[in-house]
């Protein structure tokens, strides 16, 4: 099905099932421990061995020699595999560094060997017996020091790294009110509950993996490329995933090393990355330096806005696109953005929840707060004054649907923003200084081709099969809701099968494109199945109604189970998106609000309450959507107050590589969170008229907290995280 014209009225608009707060249908499996995760698949293939990866002890240089003899002779060891005896393994184009390193070393904890043994403990103990002699080389690990050498990167997924409209420099110089400030965000790390894990098995030249991966087709493609085999010879299964946040978009060393080890020893091999290894072996959100300049007239209208961002990555890597949202969020005739990339010898920088906008809004929305103060304007009103209904870089391109103003006004009203004192330090609660802050939320709307197969059997049970993944977001449930709505059956009559490369290729999970795209693919397959059912029943397809397990036309109705018969009926189709995304700017919007307390004696910051209003198209399941947003708010709070992957500048690795020292929020850190979804449908996004929400929720949160801290105590912090050492001695 081609989606190239705005959606008209369709069965989803009935909203009998879609749009309802259904419980997660996978919830009982997860809460009872019966959901099978990758490392736990003891049932899928016999005689599994255990692999333990040895990571590089240096960040850059080469291995002069490696002695595995003691490890190979250790009890229970089946095989020790390094680059020397692994056989042909190519680096997939989609990843930056080799997933099996050696003799050259590209980053700390790069996988250089795997020990295969009969038990995990034997493999781990033997790995400690491997002796490696390194030739360490000098590396670059400090973004600030490398900033002057940063270059303009090649155009990437976000388009040209530099943009310019009008005369930014001239307009900025003439503006009566200006801001020129620099902000920094640190390296941040994914911390999904489930570590990266894979079981790999070779059989007659064909590779099967049970893995934790967000994008099944990408994994299949990259494994085929790595081992030089046809994609048809790779089978990937990932039905349950315990979180990913972007770190599992592409295969990592667990998949490659498990497959390498299995091929070498002739047995299935299971591999999981230890928690400390995840931080340096996989990917992270790169640190940024961001310079923002804003000029405005005295009435608060932005006349010039410029955003420059610097980040670093390994050679061949990509930048953090932190200036993305500044191209689209606010009006202003004179504007510029610039992105620069430095070479750093740290682990690969790559996608982490809302790449680009999440760190970009950490800076931009503080800058907007600072400008509002300079202008003597309320921060909410300053943003409203600078709203735009067209792409500021291309005024002939309207937004498909944009309700930022509604989000800001509704969010402010629900939060009690009118009770905020504009003067910092004006509100006190005992030893706590109390402040409110806000920020706009923005995340672009991305759609991707997605397919599904839908069938109905003699019992009237509808089965949906697609390689879509559920990374904890509720994919099983919204796909079931879509099928139930389209086919006119109850939810308990729908079976959803996900995460298997033998199923039709879906959008996969990432970039907040998954929910909208995958359900649109199921919609397309259901349309095809409805046509088959109507034709078999002798009805005109345009004059049928599907409800209560029957198809009806006029006064005649037939049970779906009867039409399916013994053999059943099925149909397969994909949604393919046309050029509506080029004709219209498509994005999601929101307004974040936070109240914090700052301890006058210690500088400790406590978030007291949070709220937000969001416009993200049709909300397919309000319950799971709210869960996504409060989880994102929690993650954004961590980015504001505690998350900082500290780099050892001598040796080039993240020192705090576990949850004991890389701090993320816990329940005690998070207060009440109010979430409101604006009533919205976007007919230019998809037949579902939905968008995404899982990443929107993190965009702007950190800045709202930072602005609240300033309002509480008068200290403007431009360098994240907002730790107490930056507040003590500086408060009003």
Task: Give the tens place of pLDDT for each residue, 253-267.
Answer: 999 999 999 999 999
DSSP labels for 533-553? HHHHHT--GGG-EEETTEEEE
pLDDT exceeds cutoff 90 at 509: yes
In this prediction, residues 619-645 reach a mean pLDDT of 98
Q: Name the nearest CA neighbour of 468 among 458, 483, 457, 456.
A: 483
The SS3 assignment for 626 reads helix
Helix (H, G, I), strand (E, B) or coil at 365: helix
User: Which residues are known to be catalytic?
Assistant: 695
pLDDT of residue 39: 97
**CA distance linking residue 712 with residue 709, whole number of Å:** 5
Mean pLDDT computed over 282-286: 98
Per-residue pLDDT at 729: 87
Kindly report, residue by residue over 679-725, the tens digit of the pLDDT.
999 999 999 999 999 999 999 999 999 999 999 999 999 999 999 99
Tell me the C-alpha distance between 80 and 378, whole Å. 64
Where exactly are the structural domains of the chain?
2-35+447-580, 45-138+196-274, 378-444+586-732
Dump pLDDT digits (tens) for 447-478.
Answer: 999 999 999 999 999 999 999 999 999 999 99
Instruction: State pLDDT tens for residues 67-102.
Output: 999 999 999 999 999 999 999 999 999 999 999 999
What pairs with residue 597 in β-bridges?
434, 606
Give the whole-angstrom CA distance, residue 430 versus residue 445.
Answer: 44
For 2-35+447-580, CATH gives: 3.30.365.10
Fold of 45-138+196-274: Aldehyde Oxidoreductase; domain 4 (3.30.365)
Decide whether 45-138+196-274 matches 378-444+586-732 in CATH topology: yes
Residue 95 tokens, joined: 């990843």
User: pLDDT of 185-194, one tens digit each?
Assistant: 999 999 999 9
CA angle, residues 235, 199, 286, in degrees to nearest 5: 90
What local confidence, expressed as pLDDT, does residue 639 receive? 98
567: burial class by Cβ within 10 Å (0-12, 13-18, 19+)? Answer: exposed
Mean pLDDT of the chain: 97
User: Over the Cα atoms of the chain, what is R_g?
Assistant: 27
Are the C-beta atoms of residues 256 and 83 closer than 8 Å to each other? no
Residue 146: pLDDT over 80 = yes
Report whether 662 contacts 600 (CB < 8 A): no
Q: 378-444+586-732: which CATH architecture?
A: 2-Layer Sandwich (3.30)
Write out the two tokens for 266.
């002739």
pLDDT of amino acid 612: 98
Give the model confidence (pLDDT) of 411-426 as tens digits.
999 999 999 999 999 9
Question: For residue 721, is the peptide bond before it cis, meaning its omega torsion is within 30 degrees of 0?
Answer: yes
Residue 157 has pLDDT above 90, yes or no: no
Structure tokens at 9: 């009225």
Q: Would you call 102 helix, strand, or coil by DSSP?
A: coil
Rounded to 5°, angle at Cα 181 from 378 and 338: 110
pLDDT at 357 over 80: yes
Dump pLDDT digits (tens) for 550-585. Answer: 999 999 999 999 999 999 999 999 999 999 999 999
């Amino acid at each position: 099905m081609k989606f190239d014209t705005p959606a008209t009225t369709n069965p989803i608009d009935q909203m009998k099932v879609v749009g309802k707060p259904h419980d997660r249908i996978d919830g009982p499996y997860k809460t009872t421990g019966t959901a099978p995760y990758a490392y736990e698949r003891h049932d899928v293939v016999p005689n599994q061995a255990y692999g333990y990866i040895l990571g590089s002890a240096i960040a850059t240089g080469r291995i002069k020699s490696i002695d595995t003899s003691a490890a190979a002779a250790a009890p229970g060891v089946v095989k020790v595999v390094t680059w020397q005896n692994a056989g042909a393994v190519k680096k997939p184009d989609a990843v930056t560094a080799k997933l099996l390193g050696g003799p050259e070393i590209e980053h700390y904890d790069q996988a250089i060997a795997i020990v295969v043994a009969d038990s995990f403990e034997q493999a781990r103990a033997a790995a400690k017996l491997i002796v490696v002699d390194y030739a360490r080389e000098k590396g670059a690990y400090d973004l600030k020091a490398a900033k002057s050498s940063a270059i303009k990167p090649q155009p990437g997924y976000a388009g040209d790294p530099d943009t310019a409209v009008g005369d930014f420099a001239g307009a900025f110089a003439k503006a009566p009110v200006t801001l020129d400030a620099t902000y920094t965000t640190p390296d941040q790390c994914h911390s999904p509950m489930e570590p990266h894990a894979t079981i790999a098995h070779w059989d007659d030249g064909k590779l099967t993996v049970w893995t934790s991966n967000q994008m099944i087709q990408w994994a299949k493609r990259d494994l085929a490329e790595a081992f030089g085999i046809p994609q048809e010879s790779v089978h990937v299964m990932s039905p349950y995933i315990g979180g990913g946040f972007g770190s599992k978009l592409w295969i990592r060393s667990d998949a490659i090393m498990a497959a390498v080890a299995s091929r070498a020893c002739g047995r299935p091999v299971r591999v999981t990355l230890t928690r400390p290894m995840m931080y340096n072996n996989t990917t992270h959100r790169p640190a940024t330096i961001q310079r923002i300049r804003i000029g405005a007239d005295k009435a608060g209208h932005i006349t010039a806005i410029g955003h420059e961002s610097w980040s670093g990555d390994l050679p061949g890597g990509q930048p953090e696109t932190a200036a993305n949202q500044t191209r689209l969020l606010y009006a202003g005739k004179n504007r510029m953005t610039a992105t620069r990339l430095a070479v750093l010898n740290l682990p690969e920088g790559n996608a982490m929840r809302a790449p680009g906008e999440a760190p970009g809004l950490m800076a931009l929305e503080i800058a907007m707060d600072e400008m509002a103060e300079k202008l003597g304007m309320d921060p909410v009103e300053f943003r409203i004054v600078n709203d735009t209904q067209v792409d500021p870089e291309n005024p002939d391109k309207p937004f498909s649907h944009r309700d930022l103003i509604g989000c800001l006004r509704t969010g402010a009203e629900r939060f009690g923003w009118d009770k905020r004192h504009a003067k910092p330090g004006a509100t006190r609660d005992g030893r706590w200084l109390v402040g409110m802050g806000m920020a706009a939320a923005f995340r672009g709307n991305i759609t991707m081709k997605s397919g599904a197969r839908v069938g109905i059997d003699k019992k009237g049970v509808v089965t949906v099969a697609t390689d879509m993944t559920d990374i904890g977001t509720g994919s099983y449930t919204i796909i079931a809701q879509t099928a139930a709505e389209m086919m006119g059956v109850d939810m308990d009559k729908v079976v959803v099968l996900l995460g298997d490369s033998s199923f039709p290729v879906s959008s996969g999970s990432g970039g907040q494109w998954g929910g909208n795209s995958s359900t649109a693919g199921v919609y397309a397959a259901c349309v095809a199945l409805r046509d088959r059912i109507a034709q078999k029943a002798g009805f005109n397809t345009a004059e049928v109604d599907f409800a209560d397990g029957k198809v009806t036309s006029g006064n005649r109705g037939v049970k779906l189970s009867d039409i399916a018969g013994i053999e059943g009926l099925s149909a397969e189709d994909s949604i393919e998106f046309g050029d509506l995304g080029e004709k219209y700017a498509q994005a999601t919007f929101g307004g974040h609000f936070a109240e914090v307390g700052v301890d006058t004696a210690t500088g400790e910051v406590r978030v007291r309450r949070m709220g937000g209003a969001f416009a993200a198209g049709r909300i397919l399941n309000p319950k799971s959507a709210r869960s996504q947003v409060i989880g994102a708010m929690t993650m954004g709070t961590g980015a504001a107050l505690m998350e900082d992957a500290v780099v050892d500048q001598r040796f080039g690795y993240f020192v705090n590589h576990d949850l004991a020292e890389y701090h993320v929020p816990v329940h005690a850190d998070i207060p009440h969170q109010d979430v409101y979804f604006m009533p919205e449908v976007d007919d230019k996004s998809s037949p579902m008229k939905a968008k995404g929400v899982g990443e929107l929720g993190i965009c702007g949160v950190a800045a709202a907290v930072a602005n609240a801290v300033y309002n509480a105590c008068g200290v403007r912090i431009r360098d994240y995280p907002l730790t107490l050492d930056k507040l003590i001695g500086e408060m009003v």
